[in-house]
């Protein structure tokens, strides 16, 4: 017996119906916001993620699925979607077209993390990326699109955490201040943070260890160190969120786990009973295109974890309106009736009716049970008697009412019922 690798999931029916619903909702909501779908490869050259996400991030340091292909090139299964979207935008010179370019995507991502509920090694993201504009209206639009998406799925108790982490001009000065503060208070930080101070000092801000949160209480805040331009941009982002009546909490410790962010950073958490999880997160990444290519293109986006979204919907007992039952189950008695049922089944399907029949030559009683189990709205019963009269016994599975209908009219008839 060979099992699936740790941290992966098989998605079975009926769960696949929920996945389809969630994916269809993404297509419809993001299309309404005029975002177009982009599909990029599941693997890229490793360098893309090293340069894009940053060498000193958890993802690049320890979570990537990296291997050498038969040509000796280092390949990595994508741990996220943004770097690939930017690579594709640059490679295909999309920046030469009228801007902004608004994309959405969905698909599997891979991170070698310790698996637990809501954290997997293969997981799925739905994300959007808007490239080619630094307009603070766009920051608010991106957050609004994500909020609308999850709200249309039925989630309501959501909290937006918002921060600005500045730009190339103002951030280095802040990082110096933070390092100075941390050096003076070194003994108060955990050992990981002591290392982070050397490799990625901003990340001490979102360390989840309590002693560090405590140690940071007196630390300088990035929001107080923004340059005039970043401060004005952030002020406008907040105003635009207010205009859309999207409430948010400022969180000056929110820095996110990828290095490409500049200015706006945000996370959306579910705050309902029993859950405190980040459903989606993102931000601006005005420097990423230059990191990967030669163009300087401002951009913003977010990504949402589909498994986490589904877990939250399940925990909150939010039912998605998916239809898993059949319209018609065909029950036959005898070989001749079975053959007629078989062709009728094809006619029904071609006419847009969701139908099925028995393929194990079961008794009528078992076929009835199958019709029930498959949640069929109607069953068609065809026996010797029906064949002789050229009719089908049409049974409403809910009320149990039956009527005989001409076999030539049955397809039209059932179409008016469904
Ligand atoms: P991220 O915060 O690394 O951002 O991931 C986004 C979301 O993916 C998380 O909030 C979480 O729901 C989900 N996720 C991450 N890792 C796992 C895992 N191991 N198992 C299950 N779910 C997971 C990004 O990936 C950025 N690319 C977002 C972005 C887009 N920023 C700008 N544009």
Domain ranges of the chain: 15-170+226-315, 328-417
Tell me which of 2.70.98.60, 3.10.450.630, 2.40.110.10, 3.40.50.800 is the CATH number of domain 328-417. 3.40.50.800
Residue 33 has pLDDT above 90, yes or no: yes
Name the residue of 9, 80, 105 to mutate for ligand 1: max ligand atoms within 8 A of Cβ. 80
Collapsed DSSP state (helix, strand, coil) of residue 279: strand
Give me the mean pLDDT over the 198-208 stretch: 89
Res 128: pLDDT: 98
Collapsed DSSP state (helix, strand, coil) of residue 6: coil
Residue located nearest, by CA, to atom 5 of ligand 1: 303
User: Partners of 107 in the beta sheet?
Assistant: 125
Residues 6+ apart with CB under 8 A from 372: 397
User: Partners of 161 in the beta sheet?
Assistant: 249, 267
CB atoms within 10 A of CB 34: 11
DSSP class of residue 95 equals G
Res 417: pLDDT: 87
Residue located nearest, by CA, to atom 17 of ligand 1: 119
Contacts 24+ apart (CB under 8 A), 74-77: 74/45, 74/46, 74/47, 75/43, 75/44, 75/45, 75/46, 76/43, 76/44, 76/45, 76/46, 76/48, 76/49, 77/42, 77/43, 77/110
Residue located nearest, by CA, to atom 25 of ligand 1: 80
Helix (H) or strand (E) holding 402: strand 402-406
Structural contact between residues 160 and 302, judged by C-beta atoms closer than 8 angstroms: no
Closest CA to 61 of 188, 250, 192: 192
Return d(Cα 146, Cα 125) in angstroms, integer: 12
Structural contact between residues 43 and 78, judged by C-beta atoms closer than 8 angstroms: yes
Determine the distance separating the centroid of ligand 1 and the alpha carbon of 148, expressed in angstroms.
18
pLDDT > 70 fraction of the chain, expressed in percent and rounded: 99
Confidence class of residue 276 from pLDDT cuts 50, 70 and 90? low
Res 200: pLDDT: 87
Looking at 51-55, 67-71, 195-199, 345-349, which range is the least confident one? 195-199
Q: CB of 257 closer than 6 A to ligand 1?
A: yes
Which CATH class name applies to 15-170+226-315? Answer: alpha beta
Q: CB of 281 closer than 6 A to ligand 1?
A: yes
Give me the mean pLDDT over the 338-365 stretch: 97
Determine the distance separating the centroid of ligand 1 and the alpha carbon of 300, expressed in angstroms.
14
Q: CB of 125 closer than 6 A to ligand 1?
A: yes
Determine the distance separating the centroid of ligand 1 and the alpha carbon of 123, expressed in angstroms.
9
């Amino acid at each position: 017996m060979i099992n699936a690798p740790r941290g992966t999931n098989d998605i079975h029916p009926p769960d696949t119906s929920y996945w389809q619903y969630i994916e269809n909702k993404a297509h419809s909501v993001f299309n309404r916001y005029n975002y177009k779908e982009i599909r990029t490869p599941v693997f890229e050259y490793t360098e893309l993620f090293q340069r894009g996400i940053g060498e000193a991030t958890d993802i690049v340091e320890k979570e990537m699925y990296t291997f050498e292909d038969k040509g000796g090139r280092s390949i990595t299964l994508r741990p996220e979607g943004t770097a690939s979207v930017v690579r594709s935008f640059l490679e295909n010179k999309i920046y030469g077209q009228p801007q902004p370019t608004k994309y959405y995507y969905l698909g599997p991502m891979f991170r070698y993390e310790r698996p637990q509920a809501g954290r997997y090694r293969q997981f799925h993201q739905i994300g959007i990326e808007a490239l080619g504009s630094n307009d603070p209206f766009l920051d608010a639009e991106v957050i609004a699109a994500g909020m609308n998406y999850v709200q249309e799925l039925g989630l309501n108790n959501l909290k937006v955490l918002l921060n600005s982490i500045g730009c190339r001009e103002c951030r280095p000065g802040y990082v110096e201040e933070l390092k100075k503060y941390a050096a003076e208070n070194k003994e108060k930080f955990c050992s990981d943070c002591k290392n982070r101070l050397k490799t990625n000092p901003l990340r001490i801000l979102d360390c989840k260890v309590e002693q560090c949160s405590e140690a940071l209480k007196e630390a300088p805040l990035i929001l107080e160190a923004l340059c005039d331009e970043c401060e004005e941009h952030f002020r406008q982002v907040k105003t635009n969120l207010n205009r859309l009546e999207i409430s948010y909490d400022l969180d000056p410790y929110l820095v996110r786990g990828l290095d490409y962010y500049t200015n706006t950073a945000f996370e959306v958490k579910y705050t309902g009973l029993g859950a405190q999880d980040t459903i989606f997160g993102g931000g601006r990444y005005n420097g990423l295109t230059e990191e990967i290519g030669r163009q300087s293109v401002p951009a913003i986006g977010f990504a949402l974890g589909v498994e986490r979204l589904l877990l939250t919907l399940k925990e909150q007992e939010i039912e998605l309106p998916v239809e898993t039952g059949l319209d018609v189950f065909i029950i036959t008695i005898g070989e001749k009736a079975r053959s007629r049922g078989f062709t009728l089944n094809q006619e029904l399907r071609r006419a847009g009716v969701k139908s099925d029949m028995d393929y194990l030559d079961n008794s009528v009683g078992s076929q009835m049970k199958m019709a029930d189990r498959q949640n069929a709205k109607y069953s068609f019963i065809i026996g010797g008697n029906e064949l002789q009269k050229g009719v089908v016994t049409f049974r409403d599975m809910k009320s149990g009412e039956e009527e005989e209908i001409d076999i030539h009219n049955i397809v039209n008839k059932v179409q008016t019922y469904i």
